[in-house]
Structures are given as structure tokens and as C-alpha cells.
Amino acid sequence: MILAILTGVVIYMVSGMIYYTILGNKWVTNLNITPNQPNYGLLSLVTLMTTIFLYGVLRVTGAESFLDGGLIGGGIGCIVALSYAKDFIFGLGTNSKSALTIYVIAVGYHIIALTTIGIVMMFFI
């Protein structure tokens, strides 16, 4: 269990570094912001909690295959995407000229990362 969760945390963080290294400039440019140094302690805690939650869902649902893990992880990623969509409907981020681009970048990371973590966690379940 602990190895699955720690592996998930590492995958989440490494995939974020890669994803935002590739798309980060577009994100920052579209938001017209200067990014601040994140609170890495809080970021790590939220990442750990998300990974524990995904592991728990995989266990509770009785996931048995890599396909199950990917579908459940991707499904949770889609729930995140819908939550972001609701925020955008209410105006968060729509002041930008590229709100749709910002939305796709933001939710794309979570869908990709959670799907990947769901698949990889199946090695440990």
C-alpha cells in the first residue's frame, strides 16, 4: 500500500514537472501572470491526499486490471475537469483572452496524471 501511494505521488509530481515544462509558458502567457514560488509543503500534502484517495477508490471498487485502474483514474480526472468547468462557468479565468486554452491545460494534466497513476497502481494491488 505505502509503495503504491509513494509511487503515485512521484508520478503525479514528475508528470506535473514534465507537463508544465512543456505547456508552462503558454499557461503563464495566457493568464498574463508572473508565477510565484509555490508552497511545496502544501503542494506535496495535496498530492499525497489525492493519491491516497485514488488508491482507496481502486481498492473499494475491486479494480483488478490495468484497464480498471486507468478507467477509474481517468474517471476521477474527468470529475476534476467538470469541477473546473463549473468554476469557469461562474467566471473564474474567463477574464483571460484564452480561457478555453487555460482550462484545457489545467484539466489535461489531471486527466493524464490520474489515468497514469491508476494504471501504475494496479501493479501493487
Residue 97 is predicted with a pLDDT of: 65
pLDDT per residue as tens digits for the range 13-70: 999 989 888 876 676 776 666 667 778 899 899 999 999 999 999 999 999 999 999 9
User: Which pLDDT band, with edges at 50, 70 and 90, does 93 fall under?
Assistant: low
| Integer CA distances (angstroms), 88 to 50, 65, 93, 109, 114, in order | 22, 35, 6, 17, 21
| Integer CA distances (angstroms), 118 to 36, 112, 121, in order | 30, 10, 5
Judged by DSSP in three states, 120 sits in: helix
pLDDT higher for 122 or 104?
Answer: 122
pTM for the model = 0.87
Residue 58 is predicted with a pLDDT of: 97
pLDDT per residue as tens digits for the range 70-92: 999 999 999 999 998 887 777 66
- Pairwise CA distance, residues 18 & 93, whole Å: 23
CA dihedral in degrees (31, 50, 122, 4; nearest 10)?
A: 120
Closest CA to 114 of 71, 84, 83, 85: 71
